[in-house]
Structure 1
Amino acid sequence: MLDDLDLFVAIVDAGSLSAAAKRHGMPAPTLTRRLQALEARLGCKLLNRSARRMVPSNEGWQYYEQCKPLLSALRQATDSLDATLNRVEGLVKVMAPVSMANGLLLPVWQRLLQRHPQVRLELLLNNGIGDVLEAGADLAIRVGPQPDSQLNQRRLGQVSAVLAAAPSYLAARSWPQSPGQLAGHDLLLTTPLQNWKLHHVDTDEPQPLPDGARLLVNDMLLGVSLAEAGCGIVLCPLSQCRRQLACGSLLRVMPDWRIPPRPVYALWPQRRALPARVRALLDILLEFAAEEPLLQA
């Protein structure tokens, strides 16, 4: 019925059936039948034919004046929805772990901003597990299994964590050889890794980390910096200390023990259609994950 209503408004605006038919690209007889069907549904005559024009009846004028602004508002809403769903523009709100967003994922944010000038990015950084729906986020990056059935998810890869310390610390305190010996060392732990267990690479034997860490912080980059300064042994994702290991400012400790790789996911609220701006970010994430060795651990 909306299509027929749009045709009725077009006839009034054009002043004749033939002009309205030409504007809509349809035969005049077809337009006449559509108008007659609308009048039959409404139970009144909307247009009176004069010598040269189609003139609205009293009921027709009333219907026209009420319906035209509604059609205009509907078109605006449709255009707005089209911009939201199909154009790569507007705000993208993303939740992500602090250090991962500031380190490993930095190229992702750069690519999004460089490729799509009309996109605005809002990053909500927190190492906790915030509610994606409550925060109004378009997408979230999470580490570990994701059982939330209210969210769509796409696996990006996995990350591994290692123990590392500065050469100066190890020279002064000795090299630990087993998890039990870590109790005699200054452990620099970052949330949430303090709750993870070490596994032997050959036997997969699990061992908890000792209690009483010298440092517990929710910023992995700070833990790495303090380890570089010789303050203790840090447990952190390989992605956060790869540069320090490569240049020798940090050394791997107990390489036979490791935190098993943890999956990394992109999550987003369930909806029938993913807006183009969010789809653009997800595509960049998948592109980055496929080429980044640290996510293929």
Structure 2
Amino acid sequence: MENKHITYQMQLYAALVRAGSFTQAAEQLGITRSWLSQQISGLEKSLNTLLLHRTTRTLRMTESGERLYEHAVVMESLLEKVQEDMTFAQDSLQGTLKISSPSALAQVLVLPVIQTLRKRHPELHIELSVNDSVEDLLRENIDVAIRVGPMPDSSLKARYLGTFHQYWYQAVEIKERDDQIITLPWHHDKGPADLKVNNIHTATEMAKQGLGRVLLPDIFALPLCLQGELEKLPISVPDSIQSRDVHAVHPYSSFTPNRITVFIKAIHQQFDNQRALANTHDGF
């Protein structure tokens, strides 16, 4: 393969895949659409393979294109690592960190870490996506995601953060166990739900207003219990406790950017702090 520009072309290809169209990618990169198309065609010629199925409206990667995209992401990570090591001091984080988190853990885990990182590393730009669906890290260009539940086999690298417990909670003013149930999409043993909602904050507000009991992570519900807005039902209530593992996942293999390593270390410490706090107030 004799092409001195293949690294540049792979970077253009990765940007094209993320943008989803030649027009949008060209605008984002500050180049012409024809130049971008020429470079991608040159890349396909150099590799002697078709990377994309093109239509007037959409782009779809071939199997070879998907493999090349994974290599391109690794290459971008390596180039960024080299730049970080050669240009910036070891204790300084720069660039962009894109994080994905489920809504139940964003406030208690991710936001405190973001606050700390912003104070220590003011040149670090952070993008937070709060989403209860499982986002494609490569497709959405996400650096690190917080995931709850069992980890499927994949190419993603996972760091175990800890385990939270789910209990039934209800409004404090209700004297007996509320048989009205509020359920969320990820609840497994739902039973006959009286109210269904797709957002944990709305479900919590419904419980606070006395509309029913809801199954919540203890580290999420603890501040509300301490404020006297919710109370945890006794553990003797059937199915009152469930354990869920939490992981931080990222798509980088051998060359993990320093900002990812620092964030995961910080989020792990924050989880330990929240777990210890929940254990201390186990009666709530």
**TM interval, short-chain normalised:** 0.5 to 0.7
Measure, in 1, the Cα distance between the counterparts of 2:105 and 2:81.
33
Q: 1:275 to 1:225 in 2, by over 3 A?
A: same
- Are 2:208 and 1:228 aligned? yes
- Note if contact 2:143-2:260 (Cα within 8 Å) is conserved in structure 1: yes
Report the counterpart of residue 71 of structure 1 in structure 2: none
Partner of residue 177, structure 2: 175
**Taking structure 2 as the reference length, what is the TM-score of the superposition?**
0.62
Gaps of 5+ in 2: 1-77, 280-284
1:165-195 deviation digits (Å, cap 9, x = unpaired) = 1133x34xx426xxxxxxxx32112231x22
Contact in 1 for aligned 2:99/2:143 (Cα 8 Å)? yes
Instruction: Give, in whole Å, the separation in 1 of the partners of 2:155 and 2:278.
Output: 27
Bigger radius of gyration: 1
One-letter code of the match for 1:187?
Answer: I
Q: CA RMSD in A?
A: 2.5
Show the counterpart of 2:183.
Answer: 189
User: Following the alignment from structure 1 to structure 2, what is the Cα–Cα distance between the partners of residues 85 and 234?
Assistant: 48
Q: Is the 8 A contact 1:139 1:266 kept in 2?
A: yes
Alignment-mate amino acid for residue 160 of structure 1: H
Say if 1:95 and 1:140, in contact at 8 Å, map to a contact too: yes
TM-score (norm 1): 0.59
Paired letter, 1:286: H
Q: What is the distance in 1 between the residues matched to 2:123 and 2:201?
A: 31
> Structure 1: which amino acid aligns with 2:253?
R
Alpha-carbon distance, 1:142 to partner: 0.3
Percent identity reads 27
* Alignment match, 1:289: 271
Distance (whole Å) between structure 1 residues aligned to residue 220 and residue 153 of structure 2: 27
1:268 and 2:256 equivalent?
no
Give me the whole-angstrom Cα distance separating, in 2, the residues matched to 1:231 and 1:154. 37
Q: Could you tell me how far apart the structure 1 residues matched to 2:83 and 2:216 are?
A: 42
80 and 142 in structure 1: CA distance in 2 versus 1, 3 angstrom threshold: closer
Any stretches of 5+ residues in structure 1 without a counterpart?
1-77, 177-184, 196-207
Which whole-Å CA distance do the structure 2 matches of 1:124 and 1:84 have between them?
25
**Partners of 2:225 and 2:80 in 1: CA distance:** 50
Contact preservation (8 Å) 2:163, 2:243: yes
Aligned length: 195
